[in-house]
Structure 1
């Protein structure tokens, strides 16, 4: 049974609703067009006269050499076409063309009948339906393209938009806004409660108050808000919006945009931190710092105001000092109150290559430097030589003393005598260096060494003193001895010697005066064997502290220096002074005199 044209038109109209694209619309609709109109063929064309392309086709296939993309002009409606002879031979009596809106080519209908008024009305209705459908499909395609372009633009700009319908509490977020919040696009309805839950807790009350104010006044709003992603990351957004009212003045929608400004905020925070640190460094600098633009002072620190006796901002630098080049030392200057100054001045461009003409000027009072240099000329070199010579010769004595102990223990008397001669010569040289310089004798602290005594060369010594072993022994009736000497070799030899003696127990060792004080307090020894020249703190400095922290202890000072320093040590509380090089038995005799064996240490006489 033949389907009524109204039903066919209804099917055609339904097929034209919400097509995905124009090509699909035409493919779906052309067969129905043939059914409705009774046409034998239908073509949609595009291209040039010489190169015609068929976009869509339904019905009988006709010779294509007669097809032309110019078969329709720009006038609306249907237009009769001349029927090519090749078509007429195939039974075609009528050919019609209709320009479709927005398409580069026409719709061509090929009929096997002549058009009358009734069929013309039907054709006009079909043409109108297709025209409307094509226009809608094209608009939908254009809208989809525009939506994609907007989404791409928002993605590149880090921007999203929202549209909240207040009554239904539904919020349309753009895809990029979901991404900014750390979610997949369109993964949930962004209700107002859901939106608030994404805000940083410290921002929620403030943002809700801004919205309430806009809701009440209808005024646009702007704000900076922090949102927290599911990962815990915080993002900073610059948001704006407006309230839309209905005819009664009731707010119905709030919509606006959000721009992710996290990178900008973090960059500004970092600049602020760096600037604050720079300002703190400038203010804490021991130099007066001034910034010049041209020759005028545009900024200075407190040190600059103090040095010049006032604020130099706005005045030319030449008002205070004349400088040439990047460095000027010891140049005359003048303060704001006319006071004469001697200054060291250093200049540097703040932004090389940038045309802002900013120069930083670092100014320092040269008086202390000049005085120090003058003092160094008169005393510094001699003092340095003196200290170096004392240290060098002390190394010689320490090393030779260790050799004497080793040889003596092996009863090689001839070698011991030879070494004793060397010791005597070295000691004489060092005693000469102890002569007062400019009337100043050595005092506590002058014998602090730069490094510990070593027989293994300066390379090992440069690494600092070796860790000092501390031997903790149980309390016995033996005389408990603490050895404080920077020479590891001396400590080892003395310890080995004392370990073989009855009534003597070595309870600890220290390589510096400071370590000796700590162990004396901790170990509470009966006797301390104390060297004088050591790193960090010398024996003369450490001696009073040891006697205070270990009040029952006796101190025997061992040194390569002569009796003059021994007298100082005795005056500071030492029980005895033993000059190194006299032999280990001499040291044992001094120990026995200081702490006789068998007498309780706390009652031993000094």
Structure 2
């Protein structure tokens, strides 16, 4: 072979070697760039420990995880341990020693102190590579900062613990179900309410606890309620019935609220035994009916009293046998006694305050009438004249009172009202010296009217003239603002004397 051919062959071999080297360097650069990109995107850093030479190398990303600029120091195992919290070092070195001994892989968390003093937790996946003789030659690891992940997990764990604590402390049974109505968790109140163990309840569905035939108009409980992400209030007043483990039925109130987004459809049902509520409502209805009947009887009896009073006042101005008046007075006394018994039965309701006497108003007591506060100049009376307003829903009694007032010197009747609202309006318009006020009137009763008249200073004096016995109502009338209390049926002369005494 000629030397020329040899030289040409050597050059071709060198060219091939250079091409292979360039290709290897290019591929290594590509791999390095891919590694850098992967570490950056994944928040990863890597290290390599050549156990034959003792040389340790860190990736740029790992330097940054530790809070340093790449290449800030010469990495070593000892330098690495300096950054590990002292209480974690012994455990970590034991993991590494065991991995080197067995030549396998490992996963561990270590807490490190960054250059800025911040403590972070790294999760490391490592692998020990061995040579042909089975001896360890390299240790390679990939690290990721999981501090935030652990924090989120701890927060979630604490939140779950708080939820469980609150669920167990809640007064209601709590049943958590998925969108298909399958029960996933319950609290102890649910165990006590339904009589099943928690393990048994989590194998059941909402339909098992609230059977469809018992749901009445709320039959959409599972199909509608559980798939609707909006919060539902307690179904108070409904006919929901729950089935207990012993086969008995118990009335329940249920409130539903979503725990996750609409796609998950996880719903918490707050279930309350409604036995006592429904009993209380039934008792309340019975009481209301009884009170209504007593009030109706009271009003009827009041009408009887009004009629007897009208008769007695007619007898005051006519010559009649004493026996006739005595008979009317005995009848009136009997009616008053019955009225006292009725008022005693209503004592608790009357004790709530003025405005609940017999009839109720559809206007709040504090609503002022659409009137001015000034006395009408056209109705001005001579000085010394007592200006009076009569308020009574019995027209016959108003007529008799009017006739008696017209006979009195120095007394002027400026208005008559058939209900409490008209009485307040007339006092607002005329500002009288005195108002004669019945208690049992429509719109506003006498107690309501007295309070408004006294509060707004619409009359100098308020005399209550009522068919109710004084023993039952006088203190309430005085508390509402009355100056005096007269029982209807007493002598008209006594009432007239009290009126004329106002000017003295």
Q: What's the TM-score once normalised by structure 2's chain length?
A: 0.49
* Bigger relative CO (Cα 8 Å, ≥ 6 apart): 2
Structure index of larger Rg: 1
Q: What's the TM-score once normalised by structure 1's chain length?
A: 0.41
More helix by share: 2
